[in-house]
Amino acid sequence: MKAKNIQVIGVGSPVIDFVSEVEEETIELMQGEKGGMELVDRTLLQIFLGLAGEAPVKTPGGSAGNTTFALTRMGMNCAFLGKLGDDQNGRYYKGLFNEIGGDCSRFKTDGSQPTACCVSLVTPDSERTMRTCLGAAQSLTTADIRPSDFDGCGHVHVEGYLVFNRHLVETILQTAKSAGCSVSFDLGSFEVVDASRDFLPRMLSDYVDIVVANEDEAAAFTGLHDPQASLDVLGRHCKVAAVKVGEEGAWLKNGDQTVHVPAITTNRLCDTTGAGDYWAAGFLYGHLKEYSLLKSGAVASLLGRHVIEYRGAALPKKTWDRIILDTATILNKKERENHADGCQ
The pLDDT tens digits of the residues spanning 74-115 come to: 999 999 999 999 999 999 999 999 999 999 999 999 999 999
Confidence of residue 2 (pLDDT cuts 50, 70, 90): very low
217-245: average pLDDT: 97
Please report the pLDDT score of residue 344 as a whole number: 39
Confidence of residue 36 (pLDDT cuts 50, 70, 90): confident
Please report the pLDDT score of residue 296 as a whole number: 98
Task: Render pLDDT for 9-24 as a digit per residue (tens, 0 to 9).
Answer: 999 999 999 988 888 8
Pairing of strands 128-133, 116-122: antiparallel
Does residue 312 surpass a pLDDT of 70? no
**How do the domains of the chain map onto residue ranges?**
6-13+63-109+139-332
Confidence of residue 129 (pLDDT cuts 50, 70, 90): confident
Beta bridge pairs of residue 108: 83
Average pLDDT of the residues of the chain? 91
Q: What is the DSSP letter of 144?
A: G
Task: Render pLDDT for 313-338 as a digit per residue (tens, 0 to 9).
Answer: 788 899 999 999 999 999 998 765 43
Burial profile 295-315: b = 16 or more Cβ within 10 angstroms, e = fewer: bbbbbbbbbbbbbbebbbbbb
Confidence of residue 341 (pLDDT cuts 50, 70, 90): very low
Of the candidates 91, 76, 110, 62, the residue with the CA atom closest to the CA atom of residue 283: 76
Spatial CB neighbours of 48, under 8 Å, sequence gap ≥ 6: 30, 40, 119, 121, 131
What is the amino acid identity at position 333? K
Q: What is the DSSP letter of 246?
A: G
In contact, 207 and 174? CB cutoff 8 Å: yes
Does residue 343 surpass a pLDDT of 60? no
**Where would I find the beta strands (DSSP E) of the chain?**
6-11, 15-21, 37-39, 57-61, 78-81, 83-85, 108-110, 116-122, 128-133, 153-159, 182-186, 210-214, 240-244, 250-254, 257-261
- Rounded to a whole number, what is the distance in angstroms from the first to the last CA of the chain? 38
Q: What is the DSSP letter of 164?
A: G
188-201: average pLDDT: 92
- Superfamily name and number for 6-13+63-109+139-332: Ribokinase (3.40.1190.20)
In contact, 170 and 162? CB cutoff 8 Å: no
Give me the count of residues in the chain: 344
In contact, 179 and 151? CB cutoff 8 Å: yes
DSSP 3-state assignment of 85? strand
This prediction's pTM = 0.91
Confidence of residue 170 (pLDDT cuts 50, 70, 90): very high
DSSP 3-state assignment of 44? helix
| CB-neighbour burial class of residue 140 (10 A; exposed 0-12, middle 13-18, buried 19+) | buried
